[in-house]
Copies of this chain bind each other. A is one copy, B any other.
Amino acid sequence: MIWQVGIVQACLAPVYCIGKTLCLEALLMTQIEPIRWRNDALELLDQRLLPGQEVYLRLATCLEVAQAIGQMVVRGAPAIGITAAFGMALAAREAGGSLHWRDRLREAGNVLKAARPTAVNLSWAVQQQAELARQQPDAAQAYTELLRAAQALLAQDINDNRRMGQLGAALLPTEGGILTHCNTGSLATGGYGTALGVIRAGFERGYRWQVYVDETRPWLQGARLTAWELQQEGIPFQLNVDSAAGHLMATGKIQAVIVGADRIAANGDTANKIGTYSLAVLAHYHHIPFYVAAPLSTVDFALANGAGIVIEERDEQEVRRCGAQEIAPTAVAVRNPAFDVTPAALITAIITEQGVAHGPFAENLAKLRP
């Protein structure tokens, strides 16, 4: 991997309309590019180093892509899917000249899928690319087509997120406290974001929201990434430890919870970052609506319910440490499930780019399929 310091592009945001007063103060917004194709290689903004450093990793092989996914250089279900699509294109390029290029591409797909087990977008993207490759006469043509498809997927994801943002913002209250967990913004997607895209869209509409950001241990995606994104965009928020969510709800600070998803079963059961389920139970207890925002590709229609979702258990060191800081005695035993499953019954609505589904989800999610 070649390390390269990247420059994040800045552009002027559209004029905001806050309340009834047209506000002409244009905010300096930053267009965050977590995934980009440059000079025949994939470049990923290394999310392990944020917010301290903004560094792009340059990946020229499929194996490097799989490693980057496994090591969480990139994370967030949609972003992982897009990254894997580029990984398949790189695999096709590497297989060029080999008589067995189709076998090698299949192996590459398996390596990519094994990098993270929970997000369905990963296997979905690999599958899509594998099918596209089957239709190609040779590896060179496969490389061209798979690269084009990956780039289209990236562009499509941003468009889908903007659509999801509009649908979600229309659903949420126009003022009050909005709690979110993990990072579901530009960094978790091709750009704009899913749950954070809805928050972004609300602010674009001038909603009077106070955003509350769970820090999201152990990886601190909230403290490191969501806080960084919101700060870049000038959206006001407050950071809190995950366990403060109940207190914030009980004291009337939260009017809605919105999260992303790593895998949604056909019945609406949703696997997402550890802590999502606790939030859903707390929201239910406090009669606060609980929303999931995710592209329809996150719905695994082959999976009847959440019982079949494999929950990734990650390295114990992630809990024993906080960044470089040792926080627990050496060698203590750790439980480190990366995800949990929120039953559909606790979810108010699932927001996708194809529309919003309310319960019964088995029926209403299926209706959204194009």
Residues of A at under 8 Å CB distance from B? 51-52, 181, 212, 214-218, 220, 223-224, 227-228, 231, 236-248, 250, 274-275, 277-279, 281-282, 284-285, 319-320, 322-329, 332-337, 340-341
A223 touches B327 (CB 8 A): yes
A215–B236 Cα distance when bound, in Å, is 28
A246 to B283, CA, bound (A): 13
Q: A339 to nearest B CB, angstroms?
A: 8
Which B residues are in CB contact (< 8 Å) with A238?
333-335
Contact indicator A223/B282 (Cβ below 8 Å): no
Measured between alpha carbons, how far is A181 from B246 in the docked complex, in Å?
15
CB distance from A276 to the nearest CB of B (A): 8
Extra A-B contacts (13), CB below 8 Å, given A243-B274, A246-B277: A215-B217, A217-B241, A227-B332, A240-B334, A241-B242, A241-B336, A244-B275, A244-B340, A245-B278, A247-B274, A247-B340, A322-B325, A324-B325
B335/A212 in contact, CB under 8 A: yes
Inter-chain contact A227/B329, CB cutoff 8 Å: yes
What is the CA–CA distance of A285 and B250 in the complex, to the nearest angstrom?
16
Q: Find out whether the CB atom of A241 lies under 8 angstroms from the CB atom of B277.
A: no
In the assembled complex, the CB of A223 is this many whole angstroms from the nearest CB of chain B, namely: 4
Chain B residue numbers with a CB within 8 Å of A329 are 51, 227-228, 231
CA distance A240 to B326 in the complex (A): 15
Tell me, rounded to whole Å, the shortest Cβ–Cβ distance linking A83 to chain B.
24
| Identical copies in the complex | 2
Q: A241-B218, A323-B327, A332-B231 are in contact. Are A247 and B212 (CB under 8 A)?
A: no
Interchain CB contact under 8 A, B244 and A274: yes
Q: Is the CB of B52 within 8 A of A326?
A: yes
- With A231-B329, A243-B275, A335-B244 known as contacts, the answer to whether A250 contacts B340 (CB < 8 A) is yes
The answer for the CA separation of A51 and B325 in the assembled complex, in Å, is 12
Would you give 14 A-B contacts (Cβ < 8 Å), ordered by A?
A212-B335, A215-B217, A216-B243, A217-B242, A220-B327, A224-B328, A239-B328, A241-B274, A241-B319, A242-B242, A243-B279, A244-B274, A247-B340, A247-B341
Smallest CB–CB gap between A52 and chain B, Å?
A: 7
Chain B nearest CB: distance from A292 CB in Å? 16
The 8 Å CB contact of A333, one of B214, B236, B246, is B236
Q: Shortest Cβ distance from A143 into chain B, in angstroms?
A: 39
CB pair A278 B247 closer than 8 Å = yes
Q: Which residues of B contact A319 (CB under 8 A)?
A: 215, 223, 239-241
Residues of chain B lying within 8 A (CB to CB) of residue A323: 322, 325, 327
Assembled-state Cα–Cα distance A328/B328 (Å): 21
Q: Which residue from chain B places its CB closest to the CB of A333 in the assembled complex?
A: B238
The chain B residue with its CB closest to the CB of A244 is B274
List of B residues within 8 angstroms of A215 by Cβ: 217, 319, 327-328
CB closest chain-B residue, reference A182: B243
Instruction: State how many angstroms separate the Cβ of A209 from the closest Cβ of chain B.
Output: 14
> Across the interface, do B320 and A322 meet the contact criterion of CB distance under 8 Å?
no
A333 near B241 with CB under 8 A, answer no
A227-B329, A327-B223 known; A277+B250 contact, CB < 8 A: yes
